[in-house]
Amino acid sequence: MSAAISNPSPAAALWATGAQKILAFAGLIFLVIGFSLASPNFMQTSNIISILQAASVNGVLAVAATLVIITGGIDLSVGALMTFCAVICGVLLTYMGLPLPIGVAGAILAGIASGLCSGTFVAKLKVPPFIATLGMMLILRGLSLVISGTRPIYFNDTPGFTEIATGSIVRNFLPFLPIPNGVLILFAVAGITAYILGRTILGRYAYALGSNEEALRLSGVNADRWKIGIYAMAGGICGIAGVLIASRLNSAQPALGMGYELDAIAAVVIGGTSLSGGRGTILGTLIGALIMAVLINGLRILSVAQEWQTVVTGSIIILAVYIDILRRQRAAAA
Amino acid sequence: MSAAISNPSPAAALWATGAQKILAFAGLIFLVIGFSLASPNFMQTSNIISILQAASVNGVLAVAATLVIITGGIDLSVGALMTFCAVICGVLLTYMGLPLPIGVAGAILAGIASGLCSGTFVAKLKVPPFIATLGMMLILRGLSLVISGTRPIYFNDTPGFTEIATGSIVRNFLPFLPIPNGVLILFAVAGITAYILGRTILGRYAYALGSNEEALRLSGVNADRWKIGIYAMAGGICGIAGVLIASRLNSAQPALGMGYELDAIAAVVIGGTSLSGGRGTILGTLIGALIMAVLINGLRILSVAQEWQTVVTGSIIILAVYIDILRRQRAAAA
Amino acid sequence: AAQDLDIALISKGFQHQFWQAVRMGADQAAEEFGVNVTFEGPDSETQVDRQIDMLAAALARNPDAIGFAALDSQAATPLLRQAQEAGIPVVAFDSGVDSDIPIATAATNNLAAAALAADKMAELIGGSGKVALVVHDQTSRTGVERRDGFVNQIEAEYPDIEIVSIQYGAGDHLQSTEITKSILQANPDLAGIFGANEGSAIGVVNGARELGRDDVAIIGYDSGQAQMTAIREGLMAGAITQNPIGIGYETVRAAVAAINGEAVEEEIDTGFYWYDADNIDDEEIQAVLYE
Amino acid sequence: MTPLVSMRDIDKSFPGVHALKSVQFEVLPGEVHALMGENGAGKSTLMKILSGVYSKDAGVIELDGKSVNVTSPRQAQELGIGIIHQELSLMRDLNAAQNIFIGREPRSAGNFVIDEKRLNADTAKLFAAMHLKLDPKVQVESLTIAKQQMVEIAKALSHKSRVLIMDEPTAALNDAEINELFTIIRQLKAEGVGIVYISHKMDELKRIADRVTVMRDGEYVGTVPAADTPVEKIISMMVGRAISDEPPTIPDLKDAEVLLEVKNLNRGREVQDVSFSVKKGEILGFAGLMGAGRTEVARVIFGADSMQSGEIFVHGKKVSIKQPRDAVRAGIGYLSEDRKQFGLATGMDVAANIVMASVERFISPLGVLKNKEIRDTAREYIKQLTIRTPSERQETRFLSGGNQQKVVVAKWLLRDCDVLIFDEPTRGIDVGAKSEIYKLLNKLAEQGRAIIVISSELPEILRLSHRIAVMCEGRLTGILPGGDTPQEEIMRLATQRASATTTPANGRAA
Ligand SMILES: Nc1ncnc2c1ncn2[C@@H]1O[C@H](COP(=O)(O)OP(=O)(O)OP(=O)(O)O)[C@@H](O)[C@H]1O
Ligand SMILES: Nc1ncnc2c1ncn2[C@@H]1O[C@H](COP(=O)(O)OP(=O)(O)OP(=O)(O)O)[C@@H](O)[C@H]1O
Ligand SMILES: [Mg+2]
Ligand SMILES: [Mg+2]
């Protein structure tokens, strides 16, 4: 209400947000240019597609993690849940011989069920998210081994299963750009989640939960129920990741997924989402996942020794986030 | 002051806190009794010592993580830092042939130096602790491989090195109770840290940082410097863990330590320390580390299949924390 | 009576198919000899201390014999000595233990096996060209021995073959896939890749398939359904297999013999084999492969 | 007339605190019923029970004569009970409109998608009705406490409740906004809404309340009509004694040393070319409307925000202040207006908070804390400021708002600075404690300190200040003598430029 509130013209405001959004890509663009200059093998359609594909599983998991992190929680179970859903999919399709859509639906439902469990532990039993999802991680890891009989399950009897992630619908229209379906699935999952976060009640309450859960409760909203809903949605997305990875490997590997949770969370945080909840975007998470994929791919293309790859990755993650912080400070000051 | 405030007698209050403290052990005692009934092999001196020894490295790391978590941060680098310090110790003792005390001091100093880095990233560059320590984790993991030449370094030329963790001073006094020195080191580290947290200015500011950093800053305290100090102290403790594990394995294994950060943080949270900072105790962390060690050891003694061990561990971690939450609620209501 | 015998096997891994095959062999022997066998191993081959804790817990159980595949022999020595003092016989398996405590060792010679892979690779690419390795681990004994066995053989025998890249994928199928793709991207003229364990080998096949590179000679290690299919379909030229079922079986057999005070052979070489599309269905090969 | 709400024999205990002892309270339709009492008397607790936040231990709540059991905030809303909480409970990361309609978002498309357009339009309408110039899409985090309070009020109004509870709604508001709020309250009254009004500002009683219920130490003291009960009577009901209220005696400071001098301070729009000085023994009051930049000036002097240009002299020596530590070293203390965010570590106990700025005084050479001394010091200040707490070991988050404020005051008293800046020192503090704090400020000045008091309550400024600095939109528009300066003169300087609300300032600035 003070005259101190400046009212820039809508056009200028639009431009400013536009510039802002582009700048968020700064780290990514910087890396891409750097690697392109360093190696001629980097900037090639096939490699860009490889990078996108490499980002797809981690990207989907990171989208799931973003949802939970926005509510002020954390989800350590994403990797184990992905594996569990892949195994469920394998059991349904290969062991039980059910048709493909049922296998996919089963994987996603398994994810939702697991999300409902984590969510209930967190919202109803008040177990801290870190512990609830750490416990779920161990439980799911064990169950994946039990259910699969500690053997990988192959999808050889389900023709078309590998197409889910590795086929390319785009190729039919743009033969020179054979983007695999897995990448499309990542973008679809990200787009839908971004819409839900930005435009629906579920999204609104996700931010509200992370911002001030008590205030949300005092506003008469059934905060617990919504929180469980968000964990369930995150679980469902992990189910999609499970289908994706199973399709890509044409098998459900019951021991896969260790350490994936940290990668996913790292993508989320690099993308500017705050671990204390209340703020964050899916676009940021996507960029975060891409930054990680580009970085690792680029270092490998440059044949950097693996021990140094780790060192460089660590440094650049810190640097990328630091640059992002500086950018925000500038933006806030301007 | 209002008459409404009840003033229980000091004796009653003392009793209440006493009971409170005992009850905090409830989960642990419950597990110990359960396993003792289930297997005669569990409750034996040698096995209890094995459990303590298994808890010692994770316990020391958890103590380090507790410090950082109390300030409202998180430390994902504890495992990698432990390994790095072990490698430094190996380089000093085996490659350079320096005397034992220098090796130990070098490891601890390396830990402090790394803690100073993380602390500076967090306090000065405002990089979120999750990212700063994740980056440090990767950097240290890479450096451990680089420095060691991706080979384990053995301490065969340093007689007495294995005694640090596996020897037993206690045995000289109590021959029937050969508690290894590693366990004593855990208790010493825990005791000293508990004292520092509870009774010194560093501890006071650690809690204040986690409780309301801005308020501390506006009280004229150089909050950044103290925060860096706390990260450095945590780093030094990881250095001790590095010596401990190197001594136990009589070698510095440069690839060790992956996933140890989650175990350490789990012990902290099981011990009742809040991940949002401002509250937590070392005693709780110790109990948390013991609960984890007892659980895993007990399940092994009972010959539970490994895949089910994971499932049971996950469930019990959630349950233990849930019971602790109930206990607190009761205590608050009483 | 024998039913009460308790044998604890501590392996280097658990979830990987190779270790499950070892477990299968151990279970076969357990059934045959009527003993109880437990099988445990850490999540990854870097977790030396976790393995020590497992060994300690197994000792606390006071078993009749222990089978042990050491991640690091030195680290385990004090506990092994403890076993010896308690009169519990120890059988080493997989890659041996540098110590005189084990009464027998059932193992594969990894160095020799990887050298065989190098010979086959040279044969496949005609003695010259660029090759790369995707290995599961940079520090563990199996990882190091297979890498060195392959590299040393190439360097010693095939001067025209250049090793352009050695990367490590933790045996994780997906990570190994991505690694393979970047190696191929960086070296478009690569002639062959060696995947040093099952997960790595499948990752290599996957990566080459995703990039549509069927011109690269791929050699794998161990078996499993995916590798066998890849070999039958011609995606993989062939692979080295150990005899994991035999390792597990022999370990338990030796343990039972030791408990019963019978004489046991000190070195049980369980052998390794090269298999490809031609001999994969041979009885001898089928006996050492696992699905 | 059947009361809209009637609460009888309400009992409530917290660990260590018997907060309500058989309390009764009622609201008639169309009545403004003020609830008064000292800090910690139990006002907020009683209202939290009515609005479903806490459950009562014993007692009856009747709505329209029918006994009800209010178990959750949602149920209270459904019963038509709305509340503005004393502690701001907004979601920092959401914008104003999103906050106001949280839980009741207008929806389109299958009842799941939010109709953001209507949400913003409804909010804009609401703001317009309150004469509030605020963008519905503004992030609440970026708003000052006062504006956040206005958003809270808008949120409560949007509920169209039959009973509206306002727990210290004006604590952070200036006169213009208070007038606006009162207009709204009168309107609601006319519609038959029953209003519970909690405030520590005595003058508001006469202007708005119909009846007054007084509580003391968790007990019901009595209910009296507002119009014909003298304020002194109400105060004595609250504190059990009379409180005198004399104007300041302005000391002669002609020869006193200038302790703090600020020259040409600049920081963006909020602080523009501010220069002033404070002498030893002087109390300089800072008046101005909300957002005038007083807090910002204080923060810049204290080093909490960086200055763009300007000079600061303490004891005539130029000091460079880059962070709060430098300021504290130079002998400047700052008591923030937002105690929760900047003043208190709410998870720590009272003693820890009191010694927060002076821990270094309580350590042995090795850094070990002298716990006994800390405890004794804390107890001393608890006694001196009559902080209501079971013990010095109680966590500050369990203290009532006013008592939390006293803890922050104690912190700076203990630190013993030469220059003390008090930003809204009596926000949310009851009359009894207020006059104690006034006495304290006077005593501190007499001891030779330089005191700056920032306050949005003109009576307070007039009651305390030896000189009055007035700010408007980041500029220092004048410095007036203390004592009998007319309020109109202050308001003229405070509104020298555009007003805060859409209607013209005339008649509202009084
Ligand atoms: N959640 C709680 N836990 C423990 N004690 C509490 C809690 N809430 C309130 N109290 C205590 O109950 C008493 C009444 O507090 P209440 O907040 O109702 O006071 P108030 O009259 O609103 O005071 P103020 O004017 O300062 O806001 C105080 O002693 C307070 O410390
Ligand atoms: N940290 C901040 N970030 C952004 N804007 C700020 C910040 N602090 C203050 N402002 C803005 O600066 C202006 C001056 O605010 P300030 O708080 O100094 O005023 P004040 O006179 O103390 O008023 P109040 O009664 O609101 O405390 C306001 O428009 C406010 O919105
Ligand atoms: Mg109150
Ligand atoms: Mg202010």
A165-220 pLDDT, tens digit each: 988 888 888 888 889 999 999 999 999 999 999 999 999 999 999 999 988 988 88
Q: What is the pLDDT confidence band of residue D462, given thresholds at 50, 70 and 90?
A: confident
Task: Decide if B246 is inside a domain.
Answer: yes
- The C-alpha atoms of residue B116 and residue B122 are separated, in whole angstroms, by 10
Find how far residue D419's CA is from the centre of its chain. 23
Task: From the CA of D293, give the closest atom in ligand 2.
Answer: 18
Residue B5 is predicted with a pLDDT of 38
Residues of B in contact with D322 (CB under 8 A): none
Q: DSSP letter for A287, please.
A: H
Q: Is the pLDDT of residue D470 over 60?
A: yes
Q: A212 to chain D nearest CA, in Å? A: 5
Find how far residue C86's CA is from the centre of its chain. 30
- The C-alpha atoms of residue C231 and residue C276 are separated, in whole angstroms, by 6
Spell D179-188 as b/e; 16+ CB within 10 A means b.
bbbeebbeeb
Residue D506 is predicted with a pLDDT of 39
How many contacts does A have with D, using Cβ atoms within 8 A? 88
**ipTM score here?**
0.82
- The C-alpha atoms of residue D44 and residue B279 are separated, in whole angstroms, by 27
- The C-alpha atoms of residue D59 and residue D458 are separated, in whole angstroms, by 41
Distance in Å, CA D297 to ligand 4 centroid: 9
Q: Pseudo-torsion of CA B77, B79, B83, B84, nearest 10°?
A: 10
Task: Decide if B234 is inside a domain.
Answer: yes
Task: Decide if A10 is inside a domain.
Answer: no
CB burial of residue A106 (10 Å; 0-12, 13-18, 19+): buried
- The C-alpha atoms of residue B318 and residue B309 are separated, in whole angstroms, by 14
Q: Pseudo-torsion of CA D181, D187, D193, D195, nearest 10°?
A: 30
Average pLDDT of span D290-314: 90
Binding-face residues of D in 60-99 toward A, CB within 8 A: 72-74, 76-78, 85, 89-94, 98
Q: How many domains does chain A have?
A: 1
Residue of A nearest to C212 (CA): A46
**What residues contact C100, with CB distance under 8 A and at least 6 apart?**
none
Task: Decide if B118 is inside a domain.
Answer: yes
Taking a C-beta distance cutoff of 8 angstroms, is the pair D220, D23 a contact? Answer: yes
* Residue A202, helix vs strand vs coil: helix
The reported pTM is 0.85
Which residues' Cβ are closer than 6 Å to ligand 2? A 2, 4; D 142, 144, 146, 270, 288, 290-296, 337, 456
- The C-alpha atoms of residue B39 and residue C251 are separated, in whole angstroms, by 27
Answer yes or no: do D363 and B201 touch at CB < 8 A. Answer: yes
Answer yes or no: do D359 and B201 touch at CB < 8 A. Answer: yes
Per-residue pLDDT of chain B in tens (334 residues, 90 and over written 9): 333 334 444 445 445 455 555 666 778 888 899 999 998 889 988 889 889 988 999 999 999 999 999 999 999 999 999 999 999 999 999 999 999 999 999 999 999 999 999 999 999 999 999 889 999 999 999 999 999 998 889 998 888 898 999 888 888 888 888 899 999 999 999 999 999 999 999 999 999 999 999 999 999 899 999 999 999 999 999 999 999 999 988 899 998 888 899 899 999 988 888 888 888 999 999 999 999 999 989 998 888 888 899 999 899 889 888 887 887 777 666 5
Residues of D in contact with A192 (CB under 8 A): none
Lowest mean pLDDT across A77-91, B228-242, D431-445: D431-445
Q: Is the dihedral of CA B170, B172, B174, B180 positive or negative?
A: positive
| CA distance to B240, C125, D456, D500, per residue, from D288 (Å) | 58, 86, 7, 11
Query: CB distance from B40 to chain A under 8 Å?
Result: no
Distance in Å, CA A8 to ligand 1 centroid: 45
Find how far residue C221's CA is from the centre of its chain. 8
- The C-alpha atoms of residue B265 and residue A290 are separated, in whole angstroms, by 28
| CA distance to B151, C166, C223, per residue, from C196 (Å) | 18, 11, 11
Residue D427 is predicted with a pLDDT of 79
Residues of C in contact with A54 (CB under 8 A): 178, 181
Q: Any alpha helices (H) in chain B, and if so which ranges?
A: 10-24, 26-38, 45-70, 78-90, 100-123, 129-148, 163-166, 170-173, 181-199, 201-218, 223-249, 260-270, 282-301, 306-333
In this complex, the chains that touch D, judged by 3 or more CB pairs closer than 8 A, are A, B
CATH of the domain at A55: 1.10.3470
Distance in Å, CA D218 to ligand 1 centroid: 9
Residue D263 is predicted with a pLDDT of 94
Residues of chain D above pLDDT 90, percent: 42
Q: Pseudo-torsion of CA C152, C154, C158, C162, nearest 10°?
A: -120
Q: What is the DSSP string of B231-244?
A: HHHHHHHHHHHHHH
Answer yes or no: do B251 and C72 touch at CB < 8 A. Answer: yes
Residues of B in contact with D344 (CB under 8 A): 212, 215
Taking a C-beta distance cutoff of 8 angstroms, is the pair B100, B93 a contact? Answer: yes
Distance in Å, CA D24 to ligand 1 centroid: 17
D326-364 pLDDT, tens digit each: 999 899 999 888 877 888 888 899 999 999 999 888 988
Q: What residues in chain C have per-residue pLDDT under 70?
A: 1-3
By Cβ distance, the residue of A3, A199, A208 closest to D91 is A208
Answer yes or no: do B2 and D369 touch at CB < 8 A. Answer: no
Residue of D142, D174, D294, D296 to mutate, ligand 2, most atoms within 8 A of C-beta: D296
Residues of C in contact with A151 (CB under 8 A): 17, 20, 291
Find how far residue A57's CA is from the centre of its chain. 7
**What residues contact A249, with CB distance under 8 A and at least 6 apart?**
A256, C173, C174, C177, C202, C206
CB burial of residue D306 (10 Å; 0-12, 13-18, 19+): exposed
Query: CB distance from A143 to chain B under 8 Å?
Result: yes
By Cβ distance, the residue of D78, D93, D501 closest to A279 is D93
State how beta strands C65-68 and B251-252 pair: unpaired
Task: Decide if A34 is inside a domain.
Answer: no
Taking a C-beta distance cutoff of 8 angstroms, is the pair D334, D299 a contact? Answer: yes
**What residues contact C231, with CB distance under 8 A and at least 6 apart?**
C220, C237, C238, C239, C275, C276, C277, C280
Which residues' Cβ are closer than 6 Å to ligand 1? D 14, 17, 19, 37, 39-45, 86, 388, 398-403, 430
Taking a C-beta distance cutoff of 8 angstroms, is the pair A247, A164 a contact? Answer: yes
D147-195 pLDDT, tens digit each: 888 898 899 888 888 999 999 888 778 777 888 889 889 988 998 999 9
Q: Testing the interface with A: which of C47, C138, C174 to mutate, by most A Cβ within 10 A?
A: C174
Q: Testing the interface with A: which of B69, B75, B121, B131 to mutate, by most A Cβ within 10 A?
A: B131
Domains, chain D: 5-239 (3.40.50.300), 256-331+418-510 (3.40.50.300), 347-416 (no CATH)
Q: What is the pLDDT confidence band of residue D432, given thresholds at 50, 70 and 90?
A: confident
A146-158 pLDDT, tens digit each: 999 888 899 988 8
Specify the residue for token string 């990200």.
Answer: A190
D217-276 pLDDT, tens digit each: 889 999 999 988 888 888 888 877 665 566 677 777 778 889 999 999 999 888 999 999
Closest CA to ligand 1's atom 27: D401
Q: D17 to chain B nearest CA, in Å? A: 5
When the pLDDT of each residue in chain A is averaged and rounded to a whole number, the result is 88
Residue C43 is predicted with a pLDDT of 83
Residue of D38, D44, D386, D394 to mutate, ligand 1, most atoms within 8 A of C-beta: D44
Residues of A in contact with C196 (CB under 8 A): none
Percent helix, strand and coil across chain D, each to the nearest 5? 35, 25, 40
Residue of C nearest to A150 (CA): C15
Q: What is the DSSP string of B46-61?
A: HHHHHHHHHHHHHHHH
Answer yes or no: do A207 and D72 touch at CB < 8 A. Answer: no
Q: Is the pLDDT of residue D415 over 90?
A: no
Domain that holds residue A247: 15-25+42-333
Q: C55 to chain B nearest CA, in Å? A: 10
Q: Is the pLDDT of residue A16 over 60?
A: no
**Is chain A adjacent to chain B, meaning 3+ CB pairs within 8 angstroms?**
yes
> Contacts from A182-188 at CB under 8 Å and sequence distance 24+?
A182/A53, A182/A56, A182/A57, A182/A244, A182/A247, A182/A248, A183/A49, A183/A52, A183/A53, A183/A55, A183/A56, A185/A56, A185/A60, A185/A240, A185/A244, A186/A52, A186/A55, A186/A56, A186/A59, A186/A60, A186/A286
Residue A334 is predicted with a pLDDT of 56
Specify the residue for token string 């990367």.
Answer: C167
Task: From the CA of D403, give the closest atom in ligand 1.
Answer: 26
When the pLDDT of each residue in chain D is averaged and rounded to a whole number, the result is 87
**Is chain C adjacent to chain A, meaning 3+ CB pairs within 8 angstroms?**
yes
Query: CB distance from B4 to chain A under 8 Å?
Result: no
Residue of B nearest to A74 (CA): B275
Distance in Å, CA D92 to ligand 1 centroid: 24
Task: Decide if A315 is inside a domain.
Answer: yes
By Cβ distance, the residue of A1, A216, A218 closest to D147 is A1
Closest CA to ligand 1's atom 10: D398
In degrees and rounded to multiples of 5, residue D67 shows phi and psi of -70, 130
State how beta strands D17-27 and D5-14 pair: antiparallel
Specify the residue for token string 């013999």.
Answer: C257
Q: What is the pLDDT confidence band of residue D285, given thresholds at 50, 70 and 90?
A: very high
* Residues, CB within 5 angstroms of ligand 3 (ion): D 44, 86
Q: Is the pLDDT of residue D76 over 60?
A: yes
- Amino acid at residue number D499: S
Closest CA to ligand 2's atom 1: D142
